[in-house]
Chain A
Amino acid sequence: MANASDQGSTGRVVGSSRVKRGMAEMLKGGVIMDVVNAEQAKIAEDAGAVAVMALERVPADIRAQGGVARMSDPEMIAQIQATVTIPVMAKARIGHFVEAQVLQAIGVDYIDESEVLTPADYTHHIDKWNFTVPFVCGATNLGEALRRINEGAAMIRSKGEAGTGDVSNATTHMRSIGDEMRRLSSMREDELYVAAKELQAPYELVKEVAESGRLPVVLFTAGGIATPADAAMMMQLGADGVFVGSGIFKSGDPAKRAEAIVKATTYFSDPKIVAETSKGLGEAMVGINVADIPVPHRLAERGW
């Protein structure tokens, strides 16, 4: 398989799978927050975010305003990079490998090939092995997750339904990925060939999941997480960490809510702490019920 990893004159190998996947391991147990400017990035860092996702509009606004959503202005991303010391991620459109090249050139720490932006290619995702920078991709089920990993994704996030504040789709996707992994683990080895066919995923990856019971990369969750209890529930369902998009900066008191979600993500199995952090957070984002969004407008349907 083609790979961007390269051995320079110093004997350093950059862009190896271990370095890309390892970066995501360091984010585990943490919260990655969507921010649209340097000021929000600072609030996120102060609240204990493990990374920020720089984008021009949070998903709730993309949904409200419509139009084509693209990669953010590199200048805005540079301002955020100059403001915080934690990793800075940014989104590229599905299949838009030149947006990804641009984001790699300005040194973002992770690229999210994201269904929240308008897809640039309705057939192919980006060939992520060609890059030194690691990628995170969304998935609604195990087959989709394994197809993205086969294309070089070094981290997976369940998609949920971004910009809604409705956690139900994140739940569905986390449960689906978990169920399918448990099912593989219980299969006879000679049943895995058909399982791979049904999942539309490479046999080698299917076998790896069946043996280890886990994805070969870190699995975060995203899409609709708006409260500390939402975050804790996703962690109890097996997420390694949480992306929070519109949920923080569309709420009444972003700094306080951000910190509360960070605490609940660490102490997800302790209801007393989740209760304590949930007190007096002010208004949560208003939200939209996923059921009220016509299917063609659901972001989770993007990507294949």
Chain B
Amino acid sequence: MSRIGVLALQGDVREHIRAIGECGADGFPVKSRAELASCDGLIIPGGESTTIAKLARNFGLFDPIVDAMSAGLPVYGSCAGMILLADRVLDAMSGQETFGGLDVTVRRNAFGRQVDSFESEIEFAAGKPFKMTAVFIRAPWVEAVGDSVAVLAEVDGHAVAVRSRNLFATSFHPELTNDTRVHRYFIEEIVAPNMVRSNSLTGAPRGSEGELR
């Protein structure tokens, strides 16, 4: 069973852990370097991107997350998580840091304030494409993408779901609905193939280490 950590510094951690469990994987909160090291995949939840970045920096998680991502750890960011994965952020707080790694330019609070937050039906074009209801809360959008980045969903011409190799981000919150297909996509299409790859590299099943702890 894959172990999916949810960065638990601030935000809707519980909802992501529930969705992971419904997909048949093992979801758990990540607040320390040891917990980060035991992840097969990591989710950065919705929340306040400024708060999450600051706490990650203060508690020594910032650089380990960046290192894990560049070493290939699959990471999914929803909303604030998308901002934190972006290489470039518009309308950011001055001096706001992001983990980066995803070659995109994200505009923060692009859809407006809370009174403009909305739900809408979108088409998610990954694997077998499907329609879903997506919840956008003070949501960002992706304004520009690099060559390596695939756009998986759009709203009114703005990219709201993107993927590049091991990194995946949505400006909406699938964890606020009972629809687990986006989490399933992350776990089955990004985390699982990566686990097969790392197992064949190390020659040891990834799960054995987890059971010893």
Interface residues contributed by chain A, number (CB under 8 Å): 38
B211 CB to closest chain A CB (Å) equals 25
Size class of the contact patch on chain B: 35 or more
Asked if B202 is an interface residue, CB under 8 A from chain A, the answer is no
Interface residues of B in 173-192 (CB under 8 A from A): 173, 176-177
Pairwise interchain contact A85-B91, C-beta atoms closer than 8 A: yes
The CA of A132 and the CA of B176, in the complex, are separated in Å by: 18
Closest to A267 in B: B31
Pairwise interchain contact B48-A13, C-beta atoms closer than 8 A: no
Closest to A240 in B: B14
- Name which of A48, A49, A86, A110 has the most chain B CB atoms within 10 A of its CB: A48
Closest to B47 in A: A26
Pairwise interchain contact A85-B115, C-beta atoms closer than 8 A: no
**Given B9, B15, B79, which contacts A29 in the complex, CB threshold below 8 Å?**
B9
Pairwise interchain contact A25-B176, C-beta atoms closer than 8 A: yes
Asked if A36 is an interface residue, CB under 8 A from chain B, the answer is no
Asked if A176 is an interface residue, CB under 8 A from chain B, the answer is no
**Given A12, A25, A84, A104, which contacts B93 in the complex, CB threshold below 8 Å?**
A84
Interface residues of B in 145-193 (CB under 8 A from A): 156, 173, 176-177
The CA of A80 and the CA of B90, in the complex, are separated in Å by: 19
Pairwise interchain contact B31-A29, C-beta atoms closer than 8 A: no
Pairwise interchain contact B47-A30, C-beta atoms closer than 8 A: yes
Pairwise interchain contact A14-B55, C-beta atoms closer than 8 A: no
**Given A13, A22, A263, which contacts B173 in the complex, CB threshold below 8 Å?**
A22
The CA of A27 and the CA of B54, in the complex, are separated in Å by: 15
The CA of A12 and the CA of B160, in the complex, are separated in Å by: 14
Asked if B132 is an interface residue, CB under 8 A from chain A, the answer is no
A131 CB to closest chain B CB (Å) equals 9
Closest to A134 in B: B114
Judged by DSSP, the binding face of B is loop
Pairwise interchain contact B48-A25, C-beta atoms closer than 8 A: no
Asked if A161 is an interface residue, CB under 8 A from chain B, the answer is no
Pairwise interchain contact A29-B176, C-beta atoms closer than 8 A: no
Asked if B137 is an interface residue, CB under 8 A from chain A, the answer is yes
Asked if A10 is an interface residue, CB under 8 A from chain B, the answer is yes
- Name which of A16, A18, A85, A109 has the most chain B CB atoms within 10 A of its CB: A85
- Contact stretch, chosen from B65-73, B97-105, B116-124: B116-124
Asked if A19 is an interface residue, CB under 8 A from chain B, the answer is yes
The CA of A12 and the CA of B172, in the complex, are separated in Å by: 13
The CA of A29 and the CA of B31, in the complex, are separated in Å by: 12
Interface residues of B in 78-93 (CB under 8 A from A): 79-80, 91-93
Pairwise interchain contact A30-B51, C-beta atoms closer than 8 A: yes
Q: Return 6 A-B CB contacts under 8 Å, by A number.
A: A19-B119, A22-B135, A23-B117, A28-B13, A85-B91, A86-B48
- Residues of chain B touching chain A, judged by Cβ–Cβ distance below 8 Å, are 8-15, 31, 46-48, 50-51, 54-55, 58-59, 79-80, 91-93, 96, 108-109, 113-121, 135-138, 156, 173, 176-177
- Residues of chain A touching chain B, judged by Cβ–Cβ distance below 8 Å, are 10-16, 18-19, 22-23, 25-30, 45, 48-51, 84-87, 104, 107-110, 132-134, 262-263, 266-267
